[in-house]
Structure 1
């Protein structure tokens, strides 16, 4: 994305390092909710190697995935070349989305905003809801400061760190970790259908980690907000 160093991402993906095949947890829930709401067209922002885009296409959705880095986009295109149901993968940036207003029924933006400069966040969120149709749904995921990776880097300013060598191929990337208050402020012009702080336990290179991340589901054109809930998984 704009103004964020992408070299670690590009270097890793071009070597096949760090590519996750399994869709993100929230993608499964998004598919269920979109089917219930009879939503069809989906924009996957920051699609990377295409794991979420491919899954949603297989589930019958019309999917467009955008990725700002051409090297990573080529990796995604090579991975979906043999798929039956294929997403459309385009070069695109969240700061300047190449779509008309109200182009999509739903938007997926998972672990993307956290890698943008904080000063760009409001503009990017506005862009997302601009391409979303009225009553459309948007799905977001952000790391919380309680996530294990928050300790794996140099603090640049409040809740923003530059990952160090403990993050392996992602060393050097700057990431912002969101608080509950920041999320409420960021989405104060739309309806927050759900806001969950999720706990996920994983093992990386034999070392157990506890991941803590926010799942946010919004609907366009409302100003009401539900209370925060927490769950583990």
Structure 2
């Protein structure tokens, strides 16, 4: 069972008696009862109130990894580019972050994508909003997103990502990347804005800097790490 929901969301939806989608799969069925057991477990956690889709283990894993490695980062770069464009143009950081995501307006719109439809939900917006989005959207049509995403999908399908993730050096690289991420400009900016607006702050993790011994091991991928450091500036 692979809920299409983060862990805390599974629990919250269960407590609210609301459903959520899941992917389900059976790899082996020695007893002949695998499907009955799987559906019973799915019902138990509350996912069948919304629905479950039968896939193979491979399909589920590839879809999940693609969402995490292609769509998520692409969306993140668009969001950050928008934020920095507005701040560089002189708009107050508080107003920019509220406009872009802190107000929850975008998350509400995203929910309407799921509830009503990607295009149909535009009717909830003003005609000015609709025209502006539709007429300006064409300017982004030539971004090389599909080629980059196809490349990432192929790495997932061919097992290249799995091999990379299983290397011992990757765990150290991951630690370094997370360390860079905690020092990124948006983290500092968001902290200032939250303090200014008297919003609750969350310190989910504080990544420690790698030790001298770890730095020595990372020397052979120093060029790659430099790219990550620049990326998270």
- TM-score range normalised by the length of the shorter chain: under 0.3
Structure 1 or 2, whichever has the larger Rg, is 2
| Bigger RCO (CA 8 Å, 6+ sep) | 1
Normalised to the residue count of structure 1, the TM-score between the two structures is: 0.24
Normalized per residue, the structure richer in helix is 2
Q: Give me the TM-score of the superposition, normalised by structure 2.
A: 0.24
